[in-house]
Amino acid sequence: MISTSTNPLAGNPLATRDDVARAALELFKPLLACFSPGRARVRVGISHAVFDATAAELEGFARPLWGLAPLAAGGFDFLHWDLYREGLANGVDPAHPEYWEEPRNCDQRLVEMAAIGFALALVPEHIWSPLPDAAKHNVARWLHRINEVGIVDNNWLFFRVIVNLGLKRVGAPCNPQAVEAALARLDSFYLGDGWYRDGAENQVDHYIAFAFHFYGLIYAKLSGDAGRAEIFRSRARLFAHDYRRWFAADGAALPFGRSLTYRFAPAGFWGALAFADVEALPWGEVKGVYLRHLRWWSHREIADARGALTIGYAYDNPTMGEQYNSPQSPYWAMKAFLPLALPASHPFWATEEATASPSPHAAAPQRHPGMIIVEDSAHVVALSGGQTVPAHRGAAAKYGKFAYSSRFGFSVGSPMSKRADIMPDNMLTLAHPDRPDRYAIRRDATVVSIEPGFIHTGWTPWEAAAWRQWRNVTVDTWLITTDLPWVLRIHRIKSPTALLSREGGFSIDRTGGEELPQPIERNALVRSAAGLSGICDLEGGRRARIGAPAEQTSLIWPRTLLPLLEGEHAPGEFTLATAIFISTEPDVEPRWSEVPALPDGPWLAL
């Protein structure tokens, strides 16, 4: 395993503006050796994404600009603008061997255009003004294609907005009508309380922060559109109060949803508040969330031996990526460096960082993402009612689990298909006794209600192997908050046939442990250097065991253990009642014997 010393953030205190600027430069440094001879492409690795290699290498060229442009705008020295100018001129020249090619409908090139447009808008003196006229013409023509082709109907619409901001700034032809139409469509995704959905489906995740609000606040700062600027600023103020609960006291963010390989991109939201002068929380608190998040990543194994970012989360782990992740994709994380554009005198930088102030045991319902957030001094836990799952690799794990933790993360599926190999952390799997390997899980769910103490969700099991739902089986699940380290679950299942069930708690680090601990009847507790993870059957009838999930399925640890409950159930209606125990502190173990009783609620009327 690669040492954390290869992490470009390692050893950086990340306490001041200068520290953050140094981090941006150190992250870029390993890429210098990856530029092509014509400087238009950057290849970090040779694995492939769903799009072509040219677009993937354009990613490597463009994505660092999200951090480098603010760095230069803030007065810091970046010594390689000549490299970027040469690469930009060649990349848009149809006669050059490294031409990026003509953008088509819903092309990945449209995504990467946004970083170039942003750089034009923020630092044209570095990336535009020195170009010869012929290169300027090619840049403007190539970027303008974003107004002429189809674009994905979600956060991508902001790419059209940002590109036109850049074109307008440098006096090149732009398309105000296309911008207006894009902004109107983006506005239709607004849910209220500062939250959007990412397109027509009910997908509400970190993209709301590092895409919708990030781009909206850039537009608010640079566009001169006073009316929309105030709308974007006011929505960001609302959102910040909810999103703050997605960050633990140690700086870790709640891992939920897709594109988690962008790692510290969520810091971009907090930086964008500063960039657009939105004091959504006191500046010391905004700065604290921002810096603690960067510091958390400075202690993770996020880079290869060269110091280049890898696909993964807390370690190099391509298993958790999406089909649109190329080796260059992780540099979306450079969005975190937007506040470097601000002077040292800005209150974001001038105000002392506020210490973390978690709200122990205070349950915070968040209606739009369908969650209840609970936290203690060590981590944040989200009880999740589920969302419409997008068609991305591992999406059922990224959106469909019952709980997510900033410290314990979650696990994605492995290629294994036999039921004996399925380790469903924070999931319930169901199977027919005559087909035990054809298991079904919660994928898409309908949130029935969210109350301060519970979420009620209804779902129809989805069988992965057959890509179909079990229409004749229904499940109602209640996720119930108590004081951490306990959370409760009730499942009411109706089935015309007999079923097998398997339910998991939180997976936990297995480092150094080869011998599995033994469960006691209906209870299973795993002790680890990372803390404690347990599961308890409140109704009886299920047996406990401890499983060893496949390696490199957890986002946090390469090898894990998982407490499980398994049962056999006759046809008809039956109820499963489960208590989940989770703590980072070994001295909390005495509370393992204090299993909470089910509180009063609608589940008792079943």
Q: Which helix (H) or strand (E) holds 275?
A: helix 267-275
Tell me the residue ranges of DSSP E strands in 71-137: none
- Whole-structure pTM value: 0.96
Average pLDDT, integer, range 500-510: 96
Distance CA 159, CA 119 (A): 13
- Does the pLDDT value for residue 415 go beyond 80? no
Tell me the residue ranges of DSSP E strands in 385-473: 403-405, 428-432, 435-441, 445-451, 454-459, 462-463, 468-469
pLDDT in tens, 335-386: 999 999 999 999 999 999 998 775 655 788 999 999 999 998 889 999 999 8
The string of DSSP codes covering 170-203 is TT----HHHHHHHHHHHHTTEEETTEE-SSSS--
Distance CA 4, CA 575 (A): 46
Distance CA 135, CA 364 (A): 53
The pLDDT assigned to 4 comes to 47
- Taken in order 508, 513, 514, 517, the sign of the CA dihedral is negative
The pLDDT assigned to 5 comes to 73
Q: Which domains does the chain have, with CATH numbers?
A: 4-350 (1.50.10.10), 364-605 (2.70.98)
CA distances from 192 to 213, 225, 238, 408 (A): 13, 21, 9, 30
Average pLDDT, integer, range 224-240: 98
Average pLDDT, integer, range 466-494: 92
Closest residue by Cα to residue 385 from 398, 403, 397: 403
pLDDT in tens, 539-556: 889 999 999 998 999 999
Distance CA 523, CA 539 (A): 12
pLDDT in tens, 418-441: 555 578 999 999 999 998 888 899
Residue 46: pLDDT band (50, 70, 90) is confident
Specify the DSSP class assigned to residue 409. Answer: B
- Does the pLDDT value for residue 3 go beyond 60? no
CA angle at residue 176 from 172 to 179, to 5 degrees? 110
The pLDDT assigned to 464 comes to 76
Task: Read off the amino acid at residue 374.
Answer: V
The pLDDT assigned to 1 comes to 40
SS3 percent helix, strand, coil of the chain, rounded to 5, is 35, 20, 45
Question: Per the structure block, which two tokens stand in for 182?
Answer: 């894009």
Question: Per the structure block, which two tokens stand in for 284?
Answer: 């010391």
Comparison of pLDDT for 574 and 604, the residue scoring more: 574
Residue 302: pLDDT band (50, 70, 90) is very high
- Does the pLDDT value for residue 517 go beyond 80? no
